[in-house]
Structure 1
Amino acid sequence: MNTIAQWGKPVAMLAIALSTVGYLNAPSRAVSDSTTGNVTQKSESNGSGRQGNVQLAQGLVGQCRAAKQRIFVYPERSTTSQSIRTLAPNELVTLADTGAGGWIAISAPIAGYVRASELKPCPGGTRPPTPAPSPSPSPSPSPDTQPPSQGGTQGGSNVCRKVINPPEGLAVRNTPVISAPRVSGVYVGNTVKLASPREYQKDSQGRTWVKISQPTTGWISSGFPNGNLGPEFSCP
């Protein structure tokens, strides 16, 4: 009997020790499992957020926006550069990038940069604006009214044209270059008299320049290559 009692004490102590070890290990596994789950969930959440931001940024390219008011288009992200076009209020543009430094690139109606704060959603949504349909072909004008494709001169005198675009009118410059100093301006609806002999120049951007003698001597842009001036007509 004494021998059995002596063996019973170590067995009881061993059972208590094993139960204690099991009790300590259980929370450890629970904490480990919980931590692993949190890290996995956070990683998946961060990855999903980054992917969503990238898709959102890429989605801006090709969207439609409209000018809040009369704004200028620049060749660079800076107002210190010479503006290359003026947009009329509510004129539609197509976005070409996701924007940077308060500026955003556009691809239509001309490639350049505008201030993002000066744009608003298009009335019909964010789809790119539909290009205007090409006008029906018209009979070719006589040789004395057809400007040459490159720089040149033509005979004739007392020929005028009316300014029809853009809404803010045309700048008169002392040379046929967009960066040349502005010497005057002509409002839409006013008439200009072409120089005699008539002179035309086309710059590297495809813009056509026409030399005028009235209301002041200089060069005005007829468009890309046309569109800013109406048909030629005889004038005093």
Structure 2
Amino acid sequence: MKMKAKNLPKYSAIVSSLLLSATAFTAPSLAVSLNQNQEVKPASSESITTQNQSEYLVAQVSESCRQVSARSGLYVRQQPTVNSQAIGIINNGRNVTIANEGDNGWVPITAPLDGYVFANFLSPCDVATVPPPTSCRRVVAERGTSVWQAPSADTPSLGLVANGRRVTIESLGENGWVPISVPFKGYVQADNLGYCR
């Protein structure tokens, strides 16, 4: 679909707003590894496609954004003390939303979980200038995801893609199955994929 030049500025503003919203609200929710064995469900469809994504820049990062800088992940606690119950772990490199600067080395966060984290393991958020390709997805299933020869678990398995690894989708798929071409061709279950960060 070709777009007229006069509509390009309006389209650019809409795409930038949607990408910022997706980054601020969708991506952090995928960052959490809860203590219970819950699987994180990705959004079911994609609302934005662009022909030249390098033209679109993501707006500046919010003042309340911080990035986890703890190699093995950062515990989120119910109260601002190490003796408080841990309610989840946020992976290294993921963004969190802080409520304020905190006190006594503890910072309250509101996303992706409500709780407290140790301030020494937070750093300023990176500003992303180019969003990942719309065909990029990453595996969010804790034990990875199998790649099947056809869109059915009754067909031969071609291999396993580990948690956190990126895949390239061919389309949004149907009936809960998504065709991929990278790291190899096959089908994966849609519930095991999330958006690339």
TM-score, normalization: structure 2?
0.34
For the pair shown, the structure with the greater C-alpha radius of gyration is 1
Higher RCO (CA-CA < 8 Å; seq separation 6+): 2
**Greater share of residues in helix:** 1
